[in-house]
Amino acid sequence: MSLLNILRYPDPRLHKIAKPVAIFDERLKKLAADMAETMYAAPGVGLAATQIDVHEQLIVIDTSETHDQLRVFINPEIVWTSEERQVYDEGCLSVPGVYDGVERPARVKVKALDLEGKPFEVEADGLLAVCIQHEMDHLKGKVFVEYLSPLKRNRIKTRLLKEERELSKERKKAVAAR
């Protein structure tokens, strides 16, 4: 397994729409395993393939405290949402250090395929429901900051671009020092 590079907002590749997975093979299993390793190392509770510049409908999620309940959703589809809504403070591995409230349905029912291509359904509430909806947004090319006001979104974008420039300068200095 290997750690993968996570795209950072406002990278335009985060806005690509993922295509359904058609081939269930060893490549897909390795991709899911690498995504899980990357998610745990980050650390995070969910990761969509879009975030690692693979535009296929694949997400990995583990909301457990012990990091031993990995869930893999391939070609996920929300088939039901509750009328009840909740605001949850969300963060994102592609938007490091940013957390803000996003309102979403409190409960969802999702159908998806597993790594063997077998269908399953999950009813979720709480953090799992939020995480599923958040990661599925990535597959549609949407990042959670797009739920925030334009002012907040622009401040986040400016801050992250500045951090990226500073990191880039430090990398260049390190290379020059070698």
Q: Residue 56: count other Cβ atoms within 10 Å of its Cβ.
A: 18
Which residue in the block uniquely carries the two structure tokens 């409230």? 101
Known binding residue 131? Answer is: no
Asked if 121 is an active-site residue, the reply is: no
Host H or E run for residue 87? strand 85-92
- Which residues have CB under 8 Å from 29's CB, separation 6+? 115
Asked if residue 134 lies in contact with residue 46, where contact means CB atoms within 8 angstroms, the answer is yes
- Indicate which residue of 135, 146, 163, 166 is catalytic: 135
**Residue 131 to residue 144: CA distance in whole angstroms:** 11
**Residue 25 to residue 117: CA distance in whole angstroms:** 9
Which residue in the block uniquely carries the two structure tokens 């159908």? 111
Known binding residue 15? Answer is: no
Known binding residue 134? Answer is: yes
Given phi > 0 = left and psi -120 to 50 = alpha, else beta, which region is 151?
alpha
Between the CA of residue 79 and those of 100, 105, 123, 125, what are the distances in Å? 26, 12, 10, 14
Residues annotated as binding site? 92, 134, 138
* Active-site residue list: 135
Residues annotated as binding site for Fe cation? 92, 134, 138
